[in-house]
Structure 1
Amino acid sequence: MQSKPTTIKEIAKILNISPSSVSRGLHDHPSIGAVTREKIKQLAKSLNYEPNNTAILFQKGKTYTIGVILPELSEHFFSTAISAIEDELLKKNYTVIFAQSHDSYEQEVRLVEKMKNQRVDGLLVSISKDTSKFDHFEKLSSFNIPVVFFDRIPPFKNVHYVACSIENATIKAVNFLLKKGHRTIAMINGPTTLFASNERKDGYMQAITFNRLKYDPSLIINCDLTEQGTIDAANQFINHKRKPTAIVAFNDYVALFLIKYLKKLNVIQDFDLVSYANLPIISYIDNSPIASVEQYPYLQGQKAANILLDLINAPKAENQAYYNTIVESDLVINEEK
Structure 2
Amino acid sequence: MQSKPTTIKEIAKILKISPSSVSRGLHDHPSIGAVTREKIKQLAKSLSYQPNNAAILFQKGKTYTIGVILPELSEHFFSTAISAIEDEALKKNYTVIFAQSHDNYEQEVKLVEKMKNQRVDGLLVSISKDTSNFDHFEKLNTFNIPVVFFDRIPPFKNVHYVACSLETATVKALNYLLKKGHRSIGMINGPATLFASEERKDGYIQAISFNRLKFDPSLIVNCDLTEKGTIEAANEFLNHKRKPTAIVAFNDYVALFLIKYFKKLNVINDFDIVSYANLPIISYIDNSPIASVEQYPYLQGQKAANILLDLMANPNPENQAFFNTIVESDLIVNEVNK
Shorter-chain TM band:
over 0.9
Q: Structure 1: which amino acid aligns with 2:93? A: N
Query: Which residues in structure 2 correspond to 1:111-150 (within 5 Å)?
Result: 111-150=111-150
How far apart, in 2, do the equivalents of 1:252 and 1:223 lie? Answer: 14
- Size of the alignment, in residue pairs? 337
1:200 is paired with a residue whose SS is helix
The CA deviation at 1:30 is: 2.1
Residue number in structure 2 paired with 1:68: 68
The CA deviation at 1:2 is: 6.7
Report which stretch shifted further, 18-27 or 59-68: 18-27
2:205 is paired with a residue whose SS is helix
How far apart, in 1, do the equivalents of 2:86 and 2:2 lie? Answer: 36
Residue 279 of structure 2 corresponds to residue 290 of structure 1: no
How far apart, in 2, do the equivalents of 1:72 and 1:225 lie? Answer: 13
2:231 is paired with a residue whose SS is helix
Deviations 1:145-168 (A, max 9, x none): 111110000000011111000000
Ranges in structure 1 where 5+ consecutive residues have no aligned partner = none
Residue number in structure 2 paired with 1:169: 169
1:214 is paired with a residue whose SS is coil
Residue 299 of structure 2 corresponds to residue 299 of structure 1: yes
Closer/same/farther in 2, CA of residues 130 and 317 from structure 1, 3 Å limit: closer
Residue 30 of structure 2 corresponds to residue 30 of structure 1: yes
How far apart, in 2, do the equivalents of 1:319 and 1:307 lie? Answer: 16
2:335 is paired with a residue whose SS is coil
Query: Which residues in structure 2 correspond to 1:163-312 (within 5 Å)?
Result: 163-312=163-312
Q: Structure 2: which amino acid aligns with 1:293? A: V
The CA deviation at 1:15 is: 1.7
How far apart, in 1, do the equivalents of 2:279 and 2:11 lie? Answer: 58
Ranges in structure 2 where 5+ consecutive residues have no aligned partner = none
How far apart, in 1, do the equivalents of 2:30 and 2:236 lie? Answer: 78
Q: Structure 2: which amino acid aligns with 1:209? A: S
Residue number in structure 2 paired with 1:14: 14
2:49 is paired with a residue whose SS is coil
How far apart, in 2, do the equivalents of 1:33 and 1:324 lie? Answer: 54
How far apart, in 2, do the equivalents of 1:50 and 1:63 lie? Answer: 17
Residue number in structure 1 paired with 2:106: 106
The CA deviation at 1:65 is: 1.2
Deviations 1:179-207 (A, max 9, x none): 11111111000000000000000000000
How far apart, in 1, do the equivalents of 2:116 and 2:6 lie? Answer: 30
- Aligned CA RMSD, in angstroms, stands at 1.1
The CA deviation at 1:95 is: 1.4
Residue number in structure 2 paired with 1:153: 153
Tell me if structure 2 keeps the 8 A contact 1:163–1:327: yes
How far apart, in 1, do the equivalents of 2:85 and 2:166 lie? Answer: 22
Ranges of 4+ aligned residues in structure 1 off by more than 6 Å: none
Closer/same/farther in 2, CA of residues 45 and 84 from structure 1, 3 Å limit: same
Report which stretch shifted further, 23-32 or 224-233: 23-32
The CA deviation at 1:317 is: 4.8
How far apart, in 1, do the equivalents of 2:325 and 2:138 lie? Answer: 20
Residue 77 of structure 2 corresponds to residue 80 of structure 1: no
2:154 is paired with a residue whose SS is coil
Identity rate, percent: 88
Residue number in structure 1 paired with 2:332: 332
1:50 is paired with a residue whose SS is coil
Deviations 1:92-117 (A, max 9, x none): 22111111111100110111111111
The CA deviation at 1:315 is: 3.1
How far apart, in 2, do the equivalents of 1:247 and 1:214 lie? Answer: 17
TM-score (norm 2): 0.98
Tell me if structure 2 keeps the 8 A contact 1:311–1:319: no
How far apart, in 2, do the equivalents of 1:188 and 1:6 lie? Answer: 61
1:336 is paired with a residue whose SS is helix
The CA deviation at 1:224 is: 0.3
Tell me if structure 2 keeps the 8 A contact 1:171–1:204: yes
How far apart, in 2, do the equivalents of 1:34 and 1:81 lie? Answer: 50
Q: Structure 2: which amino acid aligns with 1:112? A: V
How far apart, in 2, do the equivalents of 1:317 and 1:274 lie? Answer: 42
The CA deviation at 1:34 is: 1.6
